[in-house]
Amino acid sequence: MATGVAGTASVVRMAWVVCMVIAANAYAYNPPVDTAGPLTVRIEGPEEVSQLETPVPVRVVLQNKGEAAIRGTIELKVIDRWRAAPSGPVEFKVGAKGSATQEFTISAGKGTYSAHYPVHAHVRFQSEGQSLVAHPIRVFQTKFESAPPASSVSLAWEPFSIRDGGQLALWQLPFHRSVVEIFGQKPQTMPVGWQGAEAQSQGSLHIQDVALAGEHREAVLIHPPWAKGRVGTLAVEYPLQLPTAKPIVLEFANGMTPDGQSDGVTFRVRVAPWDAPAGTLGEVAWERHSAAKTWQPAKADLSRFAGQKVRLQLESHPGPKNNTGWDQSYWAEPTLVCGTPPQPAPFPPAKDDGSRVLGKVRCGEKDCTVRLWPGERGALDAVVGFTCGDQRLFFRGFEVRVLGARLDDPRSPIVLEKVQEEPGGDGYQARHRFRSAMGTFDVVGRLWTERDVLRVKFHLENAPKPQPWRVVYLEDVAAGPWSRPIVHVYAGPGNVIRRPEAFDLSFDGHRLATSFVGLDFEEGPSMVQGSDLPPTQFRFQPEEKHASLHVGHEGTLTLIPARNVWDGARVWRDVNDLKASGGVEKAAGRFAFDLWGGHYGPSAEALGHSVRYGLTDSMVVWHNWQRWGYDYRLPEIVPPNPALGSTEDMKRLIGICREAGVPFALHDNYIDFYPNAEGFSYEREIAFHERQTPVRAWLNEGRGAQSYRYRADRIEPYLRPNLQWIREHLAPTAYFIDVWSSASPYDYWTADGQFFSKVYTRDVWRKEFAWIREFLGNQAPQISESGHDQLIGYLDGAQTNHLRVGQPGTGRDAWTVWNIRCEDAERTPWFDAAHHDRFILHGAGYSSRYQGGLDARLHGIFSDDYIATEVLTGHPGMAPSPFGRDVVRKYWLLSDLMRALAMKRIETVEYADGDLHRQHVRWSGGGEVWVNRGQRDWDVTDAVLPAFGFLARVPTDQGVVGASVVRRDGVIVEMARSPDRLYVNGRHMVDGPLAIGLAVEKSEDLGERRFRMDLRWQADAPIPAGWTAFLHLVDPEGEILFQASQQPSTFEREERGAVRAAASSVIPEDLMQPGAKYELRAGIYHRASGERLPLAGNDDGDRRLRIGHIEVKADGGRATGIGWKPLEPQPDPILARMNPEGRPIAFGPVTTPGACRLTRDGDCLVVTGLPQTGGGKFPVAIHWSDLPWGLPVPTQVKAVAADGSLSAAEPVRREGGVVRLTYEPSMFQYRLERSR
């Protein structure tokens, strides 16, 4: 055992190397400090390391607050290829009330990644007879200029031969090299197959799909060297044996990034002799300087090089000014065309000659014949046609990708050696033999009909043996282009999109959450396309008439022609053979409490209030409880975070729900593995990209903590011990695992180059959900985030995120909008058309994601917009609080309806007069729902639906259940009715905005980017003492850019009338741009709670008033001063959806401006109002004979207080057949009954 030296005076002085920074007060992750008993231990060490095999100093500092000396040991632990010295426990002694330090070094071995690494200090000692351990952890980042991978793929560098009359897609060649030349330095030749950024200059090369002006192309992306003044040029070169046939032409297109203001690059095609020294740039065969941001087609004649071995080079040079700003340049689909290649057959085929019938499928009342015309490349370029009466629809072939190359493309560098048709039972089957750089392999394609659908499956046989970092598998399969234009696309949780421009929709719970899509064609049948494996994406390219799921690995595609997509979705529901998992029926129909904050004890009390108001057909998901805080230091999650209460408090919280029959789910996560967690190791636990770098997962911005993605094969050793502790100590009755149904299952590599497919990942997630449900017992519902459909049968449901199509803003919520340009679009119940009875989606999204930057009051989780989407899809309601007026209101409005729709199926969806915003949904069992998502009122049956209004009627065995948001007597109101209950809400204002406003009376430019404002608060309602003004200067999305300060900022006493104050601010230097505008949004908040007062005026939805703009004046492109422009006063839009005048509304049996629920309790009528902390009393008039229950006319009324106590009975007020009640807000409910 190495022995340390005690005392701060004895610190060994070391030379702290350049690569290390001591930062005692600025940390990413939690500070590296821990306290055990009287001893506090801190690690001082690097924030960043940039050199391999170089000792880096680390200091452990010990502080003893006790009255006795402490002796013990310190052991420093590191992971993977790091080494600590000394390597074992080191003895220490620290005196009473004293301190000590111990010096260590750590070193990164070769093969260490540019990532985040922990250093742990385990400090063991005795104090007052107890064995204690302090365990601080420091996490630092590594950034190595060149970190060679532990193993690399070996690619031969030899000329690729092109046959006469052939074509070659250069960008698909796996063997290419890049030449990086920094001006004035010797060119550097990168390894064969290299993609990435050169470390010193950041000159980069990537190969990927690029869209310019909506037109997608596969492209070679080159950015010339630029970083740290190292400006230069970059070329990619391909080794070729050119044929003797002429002409030889290189066809391509160039473009520049649409971002920024590049002065362009000089694009050059060069040809160097094969045997020229490495780094040689060859003869220029073509060049053009361009800054165009659209595709610019071009050709280069290379005929003079026929028959030669050459290195063909594509160069992106920064141009005559050597200005590399925004110089991301593109070479789109560079293709060598040699001689005269054969032309493809006409499409669509004019005759049936040469075709064969695959079978017949049913399309509405018609039989639809499915034919196939084999192509030159077998099934890959075959034409498939559907003849449904007088409608004909075709698609041409399949896009199939292996080793990065398109096998269906005759330009592919993977050579098709032969095609052989094989007997495959019914249908068509062909074997395609290919030759690649890794060897030969067979692709077998089969098409057949069954159960009124067309099935398509491709799989590999005789593939080369996998190598580290190199595996032959089906990377992508998709249907080819269609013969007709597409009018509508249906996809994801639910959007219908009319005549969209080109877009890609990745598979995840927020976007392409469905493994099936719908297409409406011009003058053709509709088509539903589905996949049994997780798609990568849905791609839509209208110019090419391409619209298809793209699916990797060996799955089965299903194509379903139908009269309309809703018929097709029903067929897909029947033929995909998915079954509901064990917890579906328990989760179905239940209202969801989606709780992200709060302490265990007070939240238990709040949930108890909700139980008292009858909110028991529900479930609770509790997100923030983990040992180290939300999404931090995972997977270390137990015991519960003591900052939020004790373990006993958490048990009581769960117990209250269990007693009420409410399933309670704890939030867990096995996607984000943090470097400071026990067991973390890149080499054992973390997934890697194919480029041999670890996959980053979520960034916890609040703590500056980066997590990394689990290997799916390493989840179980962490998940199951956690669940064993949780079941023993907490016993939840449901469970929530984050991300697994939000992110797509993923392909990944291990640190040593083994490949695991996304199918493997999906199946691990499936298995673990099934195991947890069985382990917790009683079919405990399994819930996840967002909800894609690849876990159906194992996962019971999810908290959906039903995003809209539109033009996103530029703020933090921009990603929550599908950025698709189109003629029109609307949310629609696409997911639920196939899966409503076997996968339970709750709500319409986390509020900020659903509203996507819009006003939360009009589009957030309690808004009519949001509720209309829940009703449209049949999703049980969701609320983010354990109790409150809006929580109870939403439950009373929706709960009976969602119980009636639980486990039902959608039969069809109709758009009234083709209007996508007016939807009529028919359910199995006779249920009907009308939803108006347009801006104009819609008259349906006997109701008027305003914007975001709805009407729902569902027959049940006990009677009809209904709910509505309608316009009555000119007022938007809500109502719900079931055989047992009646809920009405005249929407009188209870907690409306306070009569407090703000104006800027004067603004003054103080120079040097400073300005001053004279403010006037008009407080017709009192501003409470102790509350504070805030003044945000924001961008167009409402994101805070900087703030102004009011003096004094806090209202020290209650204020009324005109309250004047001064405010000042400084525009940050980078924002002092000529012509810039920054909107002032202001409000009043409570420093301790963060609560904001609702103020009267133009509210932005976040309880901030929109006041005006600070403007940077300009003259000749120069900032000359600061001005002010007020906004015109606008009426608060929320008032149009309320009843601010408090007009009584007739709801049949009840007339009231207020909100209450009537229930029958034997011969007694119970009237319960929505909870309210403000507002006054309101009248309730009950037309007794119109009640549906035939109750005896009451003679007395008893008030029930909030504590459950009953008041003395008082006589009922009756006027004719009307019983009148004045509802006091302090009362819980009233009981109307006959006296005994």
DSSP string, 192-235: TT--EE-TTT--EEEEEEEEETTEEEEEEEEE---GGG--EEEE
**pLDDT at position 812, please?**
83
Residue 737 included in any domain: no
Distance of CA 538 to the CA centre of its chain: 16
CB 958 within 8 A of CB 1108: no
Residues 237 and 194 occupy one common structural domain: yes
What is the token pair recorded at 587? 């989760």
Specify the number of domains making up the chain: 5
Query: Which residue is associated with the tokens 């109870």?
Result: 888
Phi, psi angle pair for 436, to nearest 5°: -130, 180
- C-alpha dihedral over 168, 169, 171, 173, to 10 degrees? -50
Q: How far is CA 85 from CA 53, 102, 1079, in A?
A: 13, 11, 56
Sheet-wide strand order for 356-363: 356-363, 366-375, 378-388, 391-396
Residues 1106 and 1157 occupy one common structural domain: no
Domain stops at, among 1097, 1131, 1165: 1131
Interatomic CA distance for residues 1233 and 851, integer angstroms: 45
Query: Which residue is associated with the tokens 């927020």?
Result: 510
Residues 1100 and 1146 occupy one common structural domain: no
For residue 848, what is the DSSP state? H
Interatomic CA distance for residues 440 and 456, integer angstroms: 23
Residues 240 and 314 occupy one common structural domain: yes
Q: How far is CA 282 from CA 156, 231, 241, 248, in A?
A: 21, 20, 16, 18
Residue 1064 included in any domain: yes
**pLDDT at position 1117, please?**
82
**pLDDT at position 146, please?**
57
**pLDDT at position 342, please?**
87
Q: Amino acid identity of 688?
A: F
Residue 185 included in any domain: yes
CB 1026 within 8 A of CB 994: no
Residue 964 included in any domain: no
By C-alpha distance, which of 74, 77, 69, 119 is closest to 92? 74
Count of H helices and E strands in the chain?
12, 88
Residues 485 and 427 occupy one common structural domain: yes
By C-alpha distance, which of 798, 218, 706 is closest to 510? 798
- Dihedral over Cα of 233, 238, 243, 244: its sign: positive
Q: Amino acid identity of 916?
A: L
3-state secondary structure of 823: coil
Residue count (the chain): 1236
Q: How far is CA 7 from CA 69, 494, 1073, in A?
A: 11, 67, 56
For residue 509, what is the DSSP state? T
Residues 1114 and 1036 occupy one common structural domain: yes
- Taking residue 1151's Cβ as centre, other Cβ atoms within 10 Å add up to 18
Cis omega (within 30 of 0) for bond into 639:
yes
Interatomic CA distance for residues 525 and 364, integer angstroms: 10
By C-alpha distance, which of 434, 461, 460, 458 is closest to 447? 458
- The answer for residues whose C-beta is within 8 angstroms of residue 64's C-beta and 6 or more apart is 38, 39, 70, 94, 95, 96, 97, 98, 99, 100
CB 876 within 8 A of CB 897: no
Low-confidence residues of the chain: pLDDT under 70: 1-27, 146-153
3-state secondary structure of 598: coil
Residues 1225 and 1159 occupy one common structural domain: yes
The helix-helix angle for 864-873 and 885-901 (nearest 10°) equals 20
- Dihedral over Cα of 188, 194, 196, 199: its sign: negative
Kindly report the CA angle at 413 between 408 and 418, in degrees rounded to 5?
60
**pLDDT at position 7, please?**
34
Q: Amino acid identity of 1233?
A: E
3-state secondary structure of 777: coil
What is the token pair recorded at 12? 């060994």
CB 1182 within 8 A of CB 1149: yes
By C-alpha distance, which of 287, 176, 283, 278 is closest to 237? 176
- CATH number for the domain spanning 1202: value is 2.60.40.1180
Domain stops at, among 1107, 1131, 1155: 1131
- CATH number for the domain spanning 109: value is 2.60.40.10
CB 106 within 8 A of CB 14: no
By C-alpha distance, which of 101, 134, 786 is closest to 493? 786
3-state secondary structure of 637: coil
Residue 66 included in any domain: yes
**pLDDT at position 153, please?**
58
Say if strands 160-161 and 232-241 run parallel, antiparallel, or are unpaired. parallel
Domain stops at, among 515, 544, 575: 575
What is the token pair recorded at 742? 């939000």
The helix-helix angle for 600-612 and 885-901 (nearest 10°) equals 60
Interatomic CA distance for residues 474 and 92, integer angstroms: 59
What is the token pair recorded at 59? 């200091």
What is the token pair recorded at 1095? 């103020």
Interatomic CA distance for residues 44 and 59, integer angstroms: 5
Where helices occur in 882-999 by DSSP H, the ranges are 885-901
CB 555 within 8 A of CB 561: no
92 - beta bridge partners? Answer: 72
**pLDDT at position 989, please?**
87
909 - beta bridge partners? Answer: 921
Residues 418 and 526 occupy one common structural domain: yes
**pLDDT at position 990, please?**
82
Residues 1195 and 1177 occupy one common structural domain: yes
Interatomic CA distance for residues 522 and 391, integer angstroms: 10
CB 485 within 8 A of CB 462: no
Beta strands in 649-787 (DSSP E): 664-668, 672-673, 696-700, 705-709, 734-737, 748-749, 755-756, 782-785
- The answer for residues whose C-beta is within 8 angstroms of residue 899's C-beta and 6 or more apart is 589, 617, 961
Cis omega (within 30 of 0) for bond into 239:
no
Residue 228 included in any domain: yes
Residue 668, burial from CB neighbour count under 10 angstroms (0-12, 13-18, 19+): buried
What is the token pair recorded at 676? 């400071």
Q: How far is CA 823 from CA 497, 581, 820, 909, in A?
A: 8, 39, 10, 20
Domain extent, residue 13, equals 2-142
Residues 285 and 368 occupy one common structural domain: no
Residue 244 falls in which region: left (phi positive, over 0), alpha (psi -120 to 50) or beta = alpha
Whole-prediction pTM: 0.92
Residues 184 and 287 occupy one common structural domain: yes
Residue 1224 included in any domain: yes
- Taking residue 1174's Cβ as centre, other Cβ atoms within 10 Å add up to 11
Kindly report the CA angle at 545 between 543 and 547, in degrees rounded to 5?
120
- Element spanning 717, H or E: helix 716-729
**pLDDT at position 148, please?**
43
Residues 279 and 423 occupy one common structural domain: no
- CATH number for the domain spanning 169: value is 2.60.120.200
Residue 353, burial from CB neighbour count under 10 angstroms (0-12, 13-18, 19+): exposed
Residue 871 included in any domain: no
CB 999 within 8 A of CB 1018: yes
Distance of CA 841 to the CA centre of its chain: 16
